[in-house]
Amino acid sequence: MAAYNRNKPSRIGELIEGVLEELEEETPYRPEAVATVAAWPTVVKGCISKFSRAVSLRDGRLIVEVAEPAWKQELLLNKKKIIRRLNQCMGAPLVGDMVIKVRDFIHGEE
């Protein structure tokens, strides 16, 4: 958003447009991002979905957290296939890359 000057009158449309542009750049909660993250368990299924979770999608990069390094390796080996399945599920090429981080979190019960 352009610098705001309180002493200079501005048109309301310009102010609103600037605010919307700023929000669009900052928010990771775009509908397609939320839908992609929500689709993660459906796409990966099985044990992988129990020990991993998609966290966010921003600029085509899906951030995924795993409970242990072994699961990171498993995802890295299947990265292209998972990205292809996510994009097919979403009906658009939203995911271009996947970043996998090992995080300590409580995973689902068996």
Rounded to 10°, the helix 79-90/31-44 angle is 120
Please name the residue that has the structure tokens 């990265």: 79
Q: What percent of the chain has pLDDT over 90?
A: 52
User: Across all residues in the chain, what is the average pLDDT?
Assistant: 82
Q: What is the pLDDT of residue 45?
A: 86
> What is the C-alpha separation between 44 and 3, in angstroms, rounded?
45
CATH code, residues 31-102: 3.30.300.180
Instruction: Give the pLDDT of residue 85.
Output: 95
Structure tokens at 70: 């072994």
d(CA 13, CA 65) in angstroms, rounded, equals 41
Q: For the chain, which residues make up each domain, given as ranges?
A: 31-102
Percent helix, strand, coil in the chain, to 5, is 50, 15, 35
Q: What is the pLDDT of residues 88-110, one digit of tens each?
A: 999 999 999 999 999 876 665 44
Global model pTM greater than 0.85: no
Asked whether 64 and 99 are in contact (CB, 8 A), the reply is: yes
Q: Is the pLDDT of residue 3 over 70?
A: no
